[in-house]
A and B are shown apart, each in its own frame.
Chain A
Amino acid sequence: MKATFNPLLIAVVAAAVGAVLGIAAVSIGTSTIANTNTKPANVEQPIIVYGER
């Protein structure tokens, strides 16, 4: 099968890959979160919360 050059497809794929790499680069550089709290909500507290951010 003859390979065809589709500039539109190349552009879309390049944009997607670029976006992912960009996200990774920016995130790695700036992220300061340390989300280690994976325990269930502490429901023994007097007020029952829907969730915590």
Chain B
Amino acid sequence: MALGVGVVLAILAPVLGRGYVLRYDLVFVPDPPFGAMVWGSGTELPRAVPSELLAVGLAQLLPADVAEKVLLAGCLALAAVGAARLAPVSHPVARVAAGLAYVWNPWVYGRLHLGQWAVIAGYAALPWAYAWVLGVLRPPGGGIGPGRRWSVAGGLAVVLGGPALVLAAVVSCAPALALARRWRALVAGAATLAGLTAPWLVALTNRGGVVDLDERGVAAFAVRADTPLGVLGSVATLGGVWSRHAAAIGRERWPVALLALVLAAAAVWGYALVRRRWPSAAWWGLLVGAAVGTAIAVLPAWPVSAQWMVTLVEHVPLAGAVRDGARLLAPLALVQAVGLGMLVESLVAAGARPLAPLVMIAPVALLPGLAWGLGGQLDTVRYPAEWSAVREVVNRDPAGGSLVSLPWASFRAYRWAGNVPMLDPAPRAFRRPVIGDQDVLVGRDRIRGESRDADRVAQALAVPGDPVPGLRRLGVRYVLIQTDQPGAAEVEGRFAGAEVVQRDGTLILLRLPGDGSTGSTGSVGIGPALGYSILGATLLITLSHTAARRRRMLLCGHLRRRDRQ
């Protein structure tokens, strides 16, 4: 617990006050509604499902900015505590070393930089999921590690991380269960994951099993060398994130990179020592998982294997999970964390006590940029008042129809938010479906989005002249123009036939003529409702089954003790 608090304070201290942390994929809005994005009812891939439901649900209980910080802190603490409890060590310094190594690394730095809190949540769940595997492989009460109930509860959070982290959990857990021939547990785990991922599977079915992912994304989001050690060296030290801006500061220097490689090698050595304390299948299973995850991560880095990945993404639904492959390094991070904990324990046992704290603190020393809100990069801001005014007008309107957010770009950079790129907050701010650009720019490459609605709106906007008739035909009721964004001036003059509902600060809200009887109202469709129902049922069954099993075990233990008396 102290480790979790310490890690949270060390990383998030500057942003624990009131206000929103807004950057890249990390977008929270005040009083978020249960809109189309939460349910994944739009035509884009349900990327924010089910993490957005948790975020919006928590924001009903707490102010949204507080909910954001609770989630961020919870993810980091869950990761640290999970790894510390998974490591088969007893010395407190060794436990801290394992927990710290799992959180304090370039992988977490990169995801935090990109604001991918949900991916970190899935990462945090991985040690808990593996603790469940360990619980299956060894007799009750055997060895060190979290209880099965906690393991299951923590491990279920892996679904928050999206398909990539679910895949990471599968490659981590499945080999161990298969090696131990625990087929029932394997089937139970697979069924649980299938239930948890039901919202995606249903969305996929709704699209006819076709996900039209842009194959250029494979190269754009492939791992890259963020150290002088090349791609393999960068990946071995848990770096390699696709964006150069998300690479941890200092890793480009030779001494830091070499020391990070030495630390990674030492952690792998430590993992070899774990073999004495874990069942053989568990030890080999996690190692195989780390190897498979790393292989998937590095394949797109080279032209020939990248072509295999392109073929996979083109033909296999949900294979896009491997597009930002560095996320699949999570099992390797777990191997290294457990290994470092074991190494510290061995140093203590061998009488080299002074070395133990040094090894424990080494991840922090090699990556000081993670401390204090990524070295001061994280900051809290508040939305200008005009956002509340516009939200109130749009969300109060009972008429159907979507909202188009302009200028046509997926990312925004607000002066009031430090000009840091961030996803357009409009889709999270309104109850009705918000249609905006889904393409993302990686350098000069435009990676096409998957939303059919967005494609149709883009075509209507591309037609010269007044786009209002074309947008009305597509069921659009409102147009929101953010005047402080690049390209806004050209957009403003084009909507001659629209009513200006609000012009306030940097926002212009236009209502298109018509009674609004056509178009979506943002209600939950049958598909998302079905998906979430299956997800909810899976959660209930899994948790209640675990509780029932625990009760049975306690009862059996009680009876056995009574028999002996």
Contact = CB atoms under 8 A, between A and B. Distances in A.
Contact of A9 (B228, B275, B410, B421): B275
A46 B487 contact: yes
B242 A23 contact: no
Contacts of B410: 50
Contacts of B441: 47-50
Contacts of B442: 49-53
Interface string A3-26: 000000100110011011001101
Interface residues of B, number: 47
B243 interface: yes
Interface string A21-51: 0011011101101111111110111111111
A1 to B, nearest CB: 11
B498 interface: no
Interface in B475-528: 485-487
Contact of A24 (B229, B243, B249, B487): B229
Nearest to B269: A13
Interface in B411-434: 411-413, 419-421
A23 B409 CA distance: 40
B486 A46 contact: yes
B230 to A, nearest CB: 4
B24 interface: yes
A31 B228 contact: yes
Contact of A20 (B247, B252, B268, B377): B268
A53 B224 contact: yes
B204 interface: no
A28 to B, nearest CB: 8
Contacts of A16: 265, 268-269, 272
A53 B249 contact: no
B264 interface: yes
A33 B413 CA distance: 29
Nearest to B410: A50
Contacts of B244: 35, 37, 51-53
Decide if the interface of chain A is mainly helix, strand, loop or mixed.
loop
A48 B263 CA distance: 37
B233 A23 contact: yes
Given A48-B441, A48-B486, A50-B243, A41 B421 contact: yes
B441 to A, nearest CB: 4
A49 B245 CA distance: 11
B245 A51 contact: yes
B236 A48 contact: no
Contact of A13 (B272, B411, B420, B421): B272
Nearest to B232: A23
A27 to B, nearest CB: 4
Contact of B228 (A19, A27, A38): A27
B261 interface: yes
A50 B252 contact: no
Contacts of B228: 27-28, 31, 33-34
A17 B265 contact: yes
A43 B412 CA distance: 9
B9 interface: no
A53 B242 contact: yes
Contacts of B233: 23-24, 27, 31
B275 A23 contact: no
B539 interface: no
A45 B442 CA distance: 14
Interface of B: 24, 114, 220, 224-230, 232-233, 236, 242-247, 249, 251-252, 258, 261, 264-265, 268-269, 272, 275, 287, 377, 409-413, 419-421, 440-443, 485-487
14 contacts: A23-B229, A23-B233, A27-B233, A30-B230, A33-B228, A35-B227, A38-B247, A43-B419, A43-B421, A49-B421, A50-B421, A50-B441, A51-B245, A51-B246
7 tightest Cβ-Cβ pairs between the two chains A and B: A51-B243, A27-B230, A43-B413, A27-B229, A20-B265, A49-B441, A50-B440
